[in-house]
Structures are given as C-alpha cells and as structure tokens.
Amino acid sequence: MTATPAPDYLARLNAEQRAAVETLDGPLLVLAGAGTGKTRVLTTRFAHLLMTGRAQPHQVLAVTFTNKAAREMRERVGAILGRPVEGLWLGTFHALAARMLRRHAELAGLRPDFTILDPDDQARLLKQVMEAEGVDLKRWPVNGLMGIIQRWKDRGLPPGRIPAAESSDYANHRAEALYAAYQARLAALNAADFGDLLLHMTEILRGDAEVLARYHRLFRYILVDEYQDTNLVQYLWLRLLAQGHRNICCVGDDDQSIYSWRGAEIENILRFEKDFPGARIVRLESNYRSTRPILAAASGLIARNEGRLGKTLRPGRGDAEGEKIRVVSLWDSEEEARMVGARIEAARREGQDLGEIAILVRAGFQTRSFEERLIALGIPYRVFGGAKFYERLEIRDAVAYFRAMMNPADDLAFERIVNVPKRGLGETALAALHRAAREQGVPLRLAAQGLLQSEALRPKPRAALRELLEGLERWRAGLDGEGHVVVAQQVLEESGYTEMWKQDRSPEAAGRLDNLKELLRAMAEFGSMAAFLEHIALVMENDEAAEGARVSLMTLHAAKGLEFDMVFLPGWEEGLFPSQRSLDEGGAKALEEERRLAYVGITRARRRCIISHAANRRIYGNWTSTIPSRFLDELPPEEVVREGEAPAPHLPHSVFGGGPLIASRRPRVIEAGPWEVAERPARAAPFAVGQRVFHQKFGYGRITAIEEDRLDIAFEKGDPKRVLDRFVEPA
C-alpha cells in the first residue's frame, strides 16, 4: 500500500510547522521564533480543522490582536479552502468579547444595545464623575485616573475587588471610590468602555455556569495569536473558555514579549504547561528571513535571559550566509547621524531600495537627529507608527508658543496656545475674542489686549488671559539678554505646559516630555529663535511631495512584526538602551524585557544589521559621556565586526562582562532648565556603604552595597533599588 500524499497546503510546510498544524487534540503551545512562519502555521491549522471535518466554522474561536491580522487570517483560510468562509468567531479580543456581551448584557446590568465609549467619551465621563465628587482636576488630572482604571480592568479587577497590592494613592486614596462611581455612571448610561468588554464577559463566565457551559459546547477549538502579549484579563477569559474541550492552541514567542508597559504579562506564556497539564510544545526555529550571522547574534544575546522557555533560531534557507553584524563606535551622536546617513547614501548608490532600510531607536526623541540628517541629504523618509518629530502634538504646541511670542500677528499660533494648558478660556471667551478681532480688524492678540479693558470676559478668564499676554511680552523681551534656549525653557515652564505633561499619567506623557527636552537641545544648534523657527518651517516642507520608497524611522516597539533588508540600531548605550527609566522602575525583570527588545531589533534585519553607540551624547542640551550598552558585550564576538575611530580599553572590572568604555572628549554642558534633571557624569569620588544619599526620583536612602558604578540603596520611602551612582548625590 502507498501512503496518501499530503494535501498541497500541508506539503508546503516544514516538519516543525506541520507538527504544529496536525497536533489537533489537547492544549498546544507553538513557540514561533522571529521569521519562522507563525502566520502560515496559524491559518493552515485553522483551515486544516475545517478541511478534516474536526469542526464547523462557527465551532472555532480564533483570537488576534489587530483587525488587520484577523482580516489576513480570514483571507488566507478562504484561499486554502477555495471559498469564502462565513460564520467564523474570528477577531480581536475586544471584538469577540463585545459580540458575546451583546448576548448576555443583562447579566452585566446593561441592555443589548449598549454604547461602547471611545477614549474621548471615557475622559469626558470621568471628568463629570470627578467634578461631582469634588476632585481638584488640576492636581489630579483625568488621564491619571483613566490609566489606573484601565490597569485594574486589564488585570480583571472590578470595583470592590481591588487587593491592597493593587491599590492607588491617587486623589488621596479615592481612586477605588471614583472607579465605583464611574462604573455606576456607565451602567446608568447603558454604556461600556473598551476595558469593560473583557472585564464584564470574564465576570459573567466566572459567575454563571450555564453561560460558560454554553460556550464550552460551542467552541471545540480555540486559536490564539501573539499569546505573549496577553494581559491578565485576556488570559482569564481564554482560560475559562478553554476548560471545556481543552483544545487550545496558543502561538507566540516569549522572546518577543515587549509590551509590559501596556499590561502584557510574559508569565502567561511561561506558565502554559502548568495551566494546561499534558500540553505539548512545538518550537518553530527555522527562520526564513535573516542570514545566519544575524540569527546567531540574536540567539546568543537572548540566551542571557532566564525567564524564557528556550529555542535557537537557525536559517531555513540554503543561501543564508551573509555579512556579520557591524558594531560602530563613534565619538558623539552627531557623528552617529552622519554615519547612518552616509551608509544609506552608499546603499542607495548600490541599488538598495530605500523602502527596505530602517532606523530603529529605543526612544522617540532619537528620531530628530536622523530626520534632520536625512533632510540635509535629500533622502525621503517616513516615521512609522507616529508623527515626524516636528509634527508631534507637544512639539507643535511648543513651537506655537515660540511663534506667538515672536509675532503678535500670528493668529494660528495664538489660537493654538491660548487655552493650552487649560486656563478657563472656554468657547464663550474664545468666541468673544474672535468677535472683537473681526470687528476691529486686528489680530487676536491685539484684540485680547482690548478685551482686558472691558467687561466682556468674566474675572477668572480675564485674569488668565492677562497672565498669558504678559508672559508673551516678558519672554520676548528676555531674548535680548538670556538667549533663545533659556527663554524657550522659561516659556514651557512658566506657561504651565511642561507641568501639564508631568501631571499626565498616560503612557505617552514621559515620551512627550522627552521630546520637549530634545526640542530644546535642537534649538542650541541655532543662533537665534528666528533662525530656529525658519529652520522648522523649511523642515515641515521637506519631502511631502516626494514619491516612491522612503527610509523608515521608528521605535523598536513599533518595529515588531516588520522586516527590512538593512537595519540601523543606534544609541546602544547604558541609560538609553537599556533604558535607565525602565531599569529604575522594573529592575531585573525590566532588564530582560529590554534584552528582548534588542532581540526584536536585530531580528528585523534580513541581510545587514548595523549597531552603533557614541562616546558622548548630547541629551536634552547636556553633553554626557556614555558607556556602551551591556548588550554589546553579550553579542557572540565571532558574529560581530567592530568598527569606528573610537576604540577603547576594556573596563578592568566591568559589571557588564568587560565591555569597552570609549575615551571621550571633555563634555560641553548647557545648563539644564528648572523642569529637567540633567544626567551627571560618573563620579570620581567613591561612595561608601552606609552613606546617606539622595536620588531625584526615589528620595533619600542609605547605601547597602556597592558594585563598581552600581549602588544598592535602601530608600526611606519605597522598596530597595539598584541605581547608577551618577544619578545619586550625597544627602
């Protein structure tokens, strides 16, 4: 007898992919490394369930993280089957939970026609609740409470079930009461926000055995994409639904879990075997994207992480040999931007498609120097997953302040900043301002001067308007004596603009402050405010009309799932990457996530990967001597070629494994503004165990141990932490 040949859709798979597709019974975890055909496995498995008659289309629950991924899966399954597939339970977590909740809305105190609020509606409703409870919105911004409530919902915690470890001191420990009042208000309006969709449905499945049994009978198989990115409530929802047939297949990569800042729990994938005893794990390790040196370097780096299930990528193509990763040492960040620009120009001359080149940065503010270098070279580019530097909200606001200060007739700039941050100049005041300007035929700012002498405005908005106008005059006068960078700092500080973002608790707020500081750094390169504003006007007009391929600039987080022939990874220095902010907040766990982020960056490259670091980096106007990232020492030396004119001796007792410390020029320093904390150079004088010290973020504490430039400190408020000595000063 001869074996029946495999169907075409199975014959196209390699052995490990086919094992993942054909293992249909029981729990299965598919550890899919970067570039190993994860999407093909997931869609082929879905089609295989239908082709073999194991399930009808409506008996498979398939969960994705994006609508795009859901559409792609639907199309691919239809292509394998040769016909469109209807009646699927296929979509994002929120879409599927909303579909379920419509059926059982009354169990959550809602009607089936409930409204789903978007973030703007959610903020307005929260504001109403907070005002009704007498909360000072200036001291306790709405976004702060939104972030806290979203965190609780992501962790599956309804009002009344917030444990002590999850409590918040927001609004003098009133966050839980405000959460309960907000949920009651939502119910009264027959509404739910996005976090409620999964929270309500999880509570229903937990509390109603009949509803849970109904879904156990309905879903014979469950497929989950990007399982490493699930948060706690998504995990609970999936686990409840999988208790029936236990035929759950989760596809993910523990080495690419990089979203803890938005609630993702890497522990969900790490404990899969414990949650589902008898589970099988299939590892997809044949990479069809990158060359062997790139894969070897990435595997050697990520092997340093302890919190992983383990796999090693290997080339899946026969032509996988290629050039080694290049690590370029440079004197400063300006030279780094020039190096990247020059290599992109050279690659273009060699015929490289610009659309296959990417610059991947750890922090959004880093894009500015590369944007300006590409502009100078006439190389078209795009900022992927976000706005170009000078088009970002906070940069446009800051520039509008500068324009309004310089030009009293600039109505567009004045209108943008007149009530940002909120000054009580609402629609009524603005309407009066516009009316006066039209009647008098003068710019808004001159009309505002006239309104101050009338009774057209109530006392509070009139006082706020007077303060703004006086500030614009004072700042303009200061340009003659203090210089445009110092005045710009004063504008952002005294206007309350930076304080607005410091009080904002949203995940984007810290990045916006970083961008404002980078804006000040950029201004130091120009001789005057007028020259800087002219430069921005020219930058904004740069390549909007350009057609064709463009270089991609993006953060490492935004790059996940993408791939390019040529990838630049700049700024691999301690404090920048790994991020000191992340390490301060998350310790060893955060370091492992930073290393996963480095792994993601390297594995975006198909053929060429260039990593760079600078001996001096001007951060927010301050020249700072830098130490190369510990990740550079963790790259397998046999897969790396080191280049650059700034070679350095190894640190004698490096805590990073003996990595190079680049000799640097004496750093030039521009005084930091009152709203930022400048990085300090490493100290010459050593600290002592038992010494009392002060940290700008964590306050006072005593040193308990010293290891090179790392201090273990028992802080008087909060948990003990390990910090770099340059962020600490004697008390």
Name residues whose C-beta falls within 8 Å of residue 483's C-beta, 6 or more positions apart in sequence: none
User: Rounded to whole angstroms, how far apart are CA atoms 728 and 731?
Assistant: 9
Whether the predicted pLDDT of 623 surpasses 70: yes
User: What integer pLDDT is reported at residue 365 of this predicted model?
Assistant: 86
**What are the extents of the domains in the chain?**
8-100+200-284, 115-189, 295-380+550-644, 391-537, 692-730
| Cβ(22)–Cβ(48) below 8 Å | yes
User: Rounded to whole angstroms, how far apart are CA atoms 293 and 325?
Assistant: 7
pLDDT per residue as tens digits for the range 330-369: 998 889 999 999 999 999 999 999 999 999 999 888 988 8
User: What integer pLDDT is reported at residue 536 of this predicted model?
Assistant: 81
Q: From 1.10.357.10, 1.10.486.10, 1.20.1250.20, 3.40.190.10, which CATH number describes the 391-537 domain?
A: 1.10.486.10
Who wins on pLDDT, 431 or 55?
Answer: 55
User: Rounded to whole angstroms, how far apart are CA atoms 85 and 82?
Assistant: 9
Residues in the chain, total:
731
Judge whether 280 counts as a catalytic residue.
Answer: no
Percent of the chain with pLDDT over 70: 90
Q: Closest by alpha carbon to 643, among 326, 422, 364, 279?
A: 326
Q: 692-730 has which fold? A: SH3 type barrels. (2.30.30)
Range name among 40-49, 375-384, 604-613 with the lowest pLDDT average: 375-384
User: What integer pLDDT is reported at residue 547 of this predicted model?
Assistant: 61
User: Rounded to whole angstroms, how far apart are CA atoms 59 and 217?
Assistant: 9
Range name among 94-108, 515-529, 686-700 with the lowest pLDDT average: 686-700
What is the DSSP pairing of strand 605-619 with strand 622-625?
antiparallel
Q: Please tell me what DSSP assigns to residue 252.
A: E
pLDDT per residue as tens digits for the range 650-694: 333 333 333 333 333 233 333 333 333 333 334 445 788 999 988
Q: Do domains 115-189 and 692-730 have the same CATH topology?
A: no
pLDDT per residue as tens digits for the range 479-504: 887 788 889 999 999 999 998 898 88
| Cβ(315)–Cβ(35) below 8 Å | no
| CATH entry 3.40.50.10540 includes domain 8-100+200-284 | no
Judge whether 256 counts as a catalytic residue.
Answer: yes
The active-site residue out of 23, 39, 449, 691 is 39
| Cβ(364)–Cβ(514) below 8 Å | yes
Whether the predicted pLDDT of 541 surpasses 90: no
Name residues whose C-beta falls within 8 Å of residue 572's C-beta, 6 or more positions apart in sequence: 327, 598, 611, 612, 613, 628, 629, 631, 632
The active-site residue out of 16, 17, 36, 38 is 38
Whether the predicted pLDDT of 596 surpasses 50: yes
Which pair of tokens denotes residue 521? 């750094």
| Cβ(5)–Cβ(11) below 8 Å | yes
Which pair of tokens denotes residue 445? 């700012």
Confidence class for position 386, pLDDT limits 50, 70, 90 = confident
Taking CA atoms, 480 is separated from 475, 483, 528, in Å, by: 10, 7, 10
User: What integer pLDDT is reported at residue 616 of this predicted model?
Assistant: 87
User: Rounded to whole angstroms, how far apart are CA atoms 93 and 235?
Assistant: 10
What's the CATH superfamily of 295-380+550-644? P-loop containing nucleotide triphosphate hydrolases (3.40.50.300)
665, with CB counted inside 10 A (0-12, 13-18, 19+), is exposed
Name residues whose C-beta falls within 8 Å of residue 403's C-beta, 6 or more positions apart in sequence: 410, 413, 533
Judge whether 226 counts as a catalytic residue.
Answer: yes
Indicate the SS3 state at residue 421.
coil
The active-site residue out of 154, 196, 203, 225 is 225
User: Rounded to whole angstroms, how far apart are CA atoms 171 and 356?
Assistant: 49
Name residues whose C-beta falls within 8 Å of residue 375's C-beta, 6 or more positions apart in sequence: 539, 542, 543
CATH code of 115-189, in short, is: 1.10.10.160
Cα 612 to chain center, whole Å? 22
pLDDT per residue as tens digits for the range 101-110: 999 999 999 9
| Long-range pairs for 72-80: beta carbons < 8 A, 24 or more residues apart | 72/39, 72/43, 73/39, 73/42, 73/43, 73/46, 73/225, 76/39, 76/40, 76/43, 76/47, 77/43, 77/46, 77/47, 77/50, 80/9, 80/43, 80/44, 80/47, 80/51
**Containing H/E element for 618?**
strand 605-619
Confidence class for position 215, pLDDT limits 50, 70, 90 = very high
The active-site residue out of 59, 122, 230, 256 is 256
127, with CB counted inside 10 A (0-12, 13-18, 19+), is middle
Cα 593 to chain center, whole Å? 13
Percent of the chain with pLDDT over 90: 53
Q: Please tell me what DSSP assigns to residue 665.
A: P
Judge whether 604 counts as a catalytic residue.
Answer: yes
Task: Give residue for tokens 């390990």.
Answer: 722
Taking CA atoms, 664 is separated from 220, 332, 525, 668, in Å, by: 63, 9, 21, 11
Which pair of tokens denotes residue 429? 């005041």
Whether the predicted pLDDT of 244 surpasses 50: yes
Tell me the average pLDDT across 288-309. Answer: 94
Whether the predicted pLDDT of 278 surpasses 60: yes
Confidence class for position 6, pLDDT limits 50, 70, 90 = low
pLDDT per residue as tens digits for the range 48-89: 999 999 999 999 999 998 888 889 899 989 888 888 888 899
| Cβ(156)–Cβ(97) below 8 Å | no
The active-site residue out of 153, 343, 560, 604 is 604
User: Rounded to whole angstroms, how far apart are CA atoms 69 and 39?
Assistant: 9
Q: Mean of the per-residue pLDDT values for the chain? A: 86
Confidence class for position 621, pLDDT limits 50, 70, 90 = low
User: What integer pLDDT is reported at residue 240 of this predicted model?
Assistant: 96
Judge whether 66 counts as a catalytic residue.
Answer: no
User: What integer pLDDT is reported at residue 345 of this predicted model?
Assistant: 93
The active-site residue out of 196, 226, 356, 594 is 226
Range name among 26-30, 156-160, 545-549 with the lowest pLDDT average: 545-549
The CA angle 673-677-679, to the nearest 5 degrees, is 115
